[in-house]
Amino acid sequence: MTAAVFRNYIDGRFAEAAATFDSVDPSTGAAWATMPAATAADVDRAVEAAHRALRTGPWASMTATARGKLLVRLGDLVVANADRLAELETRDTGKIIRETRAQIAYVGDYYRYYGGLADKHEGAYVPIDKADMEVTVRPEPIGVVAAVVPWNSQLFLSAVKLGPALAAGCTVVLKASEDGPAPLLAFAELVHDAGFPAGSVNILTGFGQDCGRRLTGHPLVARVAFTGGPSTAREIVRNTAENLAYTTLELGGKSPVVVFADADLDSAANAVVAGIFAASGQSCVAGSRLLVERSVKEAFLDSLKRKAETITIGDPQDPATEMGPLATVRQRERIEAIVAESLAKGGKLVTGGKRPDGGASGFYYAPTIIDAGSPDLPCVREELFGPVLSVLPFDTEAEALTLANDTPFGLASGVFTTNLGKAHRMARGIHAGVVWINTYRAVSPLVPFGGYGLSGLGREGGLDAIRDYTRSKSVWIRTSDEPIPDPFVMR
């Protein structure tokens, strides 16, 4: 079978790459496609094209209403092509098909939302304290945006960057992860078909040294929007010391899910299972730390164990599959090492902790639950980005809050209780950008998303996101017909 071949999209054209690499199907471990490896020269061409489009040509002169219509059209095309994009994402990342189909179809709403907002982001008239002056404040596009996304949920994570950036009038160079870039490189076809002017959106992939570093530190880049891990984020911050680009960082998490004894325990168990085992745990908001009230801990763990052991693991393209492989072999190796270390240091294995039977040819790892006993175990402290749940008991509400906040991360959290006052107290006390009460993993284009601490800087989504892609220009107009006095003549 001939391997699929993908190309970068630069300045309105699909560009042949001087260098390429193989992309691997995580369910088989076999190469299935050839991907372009963007060089520093490719990055320069993309950024320069974006800069030209920002300053001259159709995009520069386009009204906000026209930009909004393009975004709405793009959203419609994403929905119309959701099945194809989902099949590519599943093939290239191992994420199960029923999840990729549902998520990508919903991504269309993000583009429609920001399309509707494009001509509703207004400036201001300032009632200045000078009688002969009129002052207005204009929001203008911040400039060329470098958007860098990981392989997981990449069409969604791109939409929360591209949507507000393009609505604000910016141009974008989007870097897809070198792990599983196929759906974003295919998405470039939809950008082209929607009618975005050349240079306004550029999409490429490549490796950190030649592609990522050059892009985020490029002198023509004014803003960097990044989703990924803290170590890469630190590199990006160092890179932006060169161009002083405004930077937002949506990073990892070690999200707590707090289950009180008064909760609907079966509902909570379903949410916990979905929160950690959906997408094989490869989600920045994965609820990887379960904090459960001691009086119900054993019964709750028994319920979780039964649910975890009935999860159907298999071919991610099969709609019956409930959990697929990890995206890369190195990710599985890292998880295996941390789980082994945690068990050696006193953690008790409830279920999983191994490669499942029948998945030897792919990067599979069984749903795993560890009764940690101590908050100091590696499985409790480190983001594993895999299907591993660490469990700790608590006795009081105060102890639950202390354990929930005992992490340098602060992206998401969940609380399960039927006590309204307790829910409000926990929501106030948890140091995280998202608190879900009696639910988990709910998102909407209308709601901002982001974290505290090592989970990043800034917010994505919601009405205010467009403002992060603009800068204010103050316009002063002198209204007096009298000549300006000579400043060197004393009166």
Q: 3-state class of 426 per DSSP?
A: helix
Task: Tell me which residue of 295, 71, 280, 286 sits closest to 161, measured CA to CA.
Answer: 71
Q: How far apart are CA 14 and CA 259, in angstroms?
A: 50
Active site residue 382: no
Q: Provide CATH code, domain 4-251+451-475.
A: 3.40.605.10
Q: Which residue has the tokens 């480190």?
A: 382
Spatial neighbors of 409 by CB under 8 A, at least 6 apart, are 251, 252, 253, 254, 255, 383, 451, 452, 453, 454, 455
User: Vertex 248, ends 207 and 101: CA angle to 5°?
Assistant: 65
Strand, helix or coil at 221? strand
The number of C-alpha atoms within 13 Å of 282 and in the hemisphere containing its C-beta is 24
Query: CA-to-CA distance for 142 and 92, rounded, in angstroms?
Result: 33
* Sequence letter at residue 201: V
pTM of the model: 0.95
Reading the chain (491 residues) residue by residue, the pLDDT tens digits are 467 999 999 999 999 888 999 999 999 999 999 999 999 999 999 999 999 999 998 999 999 999 999 999 999 999 999 999 999 999 999 999 999 999 999 999 999 999 999 999 999 999 999 999 999 999 999 999 999 999 999 999 999 999 999 999 999 999 999 999 999 999 999 999 999 999 999 999 999 888 999 999 999 999 999 999 999 999 999 999 989 999 999 999 999 999 999 999 999 999 999 999 999 999 999 999 999 999 999 999 999 999 999 999 999 999 999 999 999 999 999 999 999 999 999 999 999 999 998 656 899 999 999 999 999 999 999 999 999 999 999 999 999 999 999 999 999 999 999 999 999 999 999 999 999 999 999 999 999 999 999 999 999 999 989 999 999 999 999 999 999 989 898 76
The whole-angstrom separation of Cα 169 and Cα 167 is 5
User: 288: how many CB neighbours lie within 10 A of its CB?
Assistant: 26
* Residue type present at position 278: A
The reported pLDDT for the residue numbered 491 is 64
User: Which amino acid would we find at residue 400?
Assistant: A
Rounded CA-CA distance 8/192 in Å is 12
User: Token pair for residue 277?
Assistant: 């085992």
Predicted confidence (pLDDT) per residue in 230-241, tens digit: 999 999 999 999
CATH number assigned to the domain covering 256-437: 3.40.309.10
d(CA 473, CA 14): 36
Helix (H) or strand (E) run with residue 135 in it:
strand 133-141
- Provide the 3-class DSSP secondary structure of residue 76: helix
Task: Give kind and range of the element (H or E) at residue 392.
Answer: strand 388-394
Distance CA 187, CA 166 (A): 16
Return the closest-CA partner of residue 397 out of 376, 423, 361. 423
Cα distance between residue 451 and residue 468, in whole Å: 16
Q: Are 1 and 194 in contact (CB under 8 A)?
A: no
Distance, CA of 95 to CA of 316 (rounded, Å): 6
Backbone φ, ψ for residue 354 (5° rounding): -160, 175
The domain spans of the chain are 4-251+451-475, 256-437
Q: What is the CA radius of gyration of the chain?
A: 25
Which residue out of 250, 293, 322, 382 is catalytically annotated?
250
CA distance 347 to 14: 51
pLDDT, tens digit (0-9, with 9 covering 90-100), for 80-111: 999 999 999 999 999 999 999 999 999 999 99
Tens digits of per-residue pLDDT, 421-443? 999 999 999 999 999 999 999 99
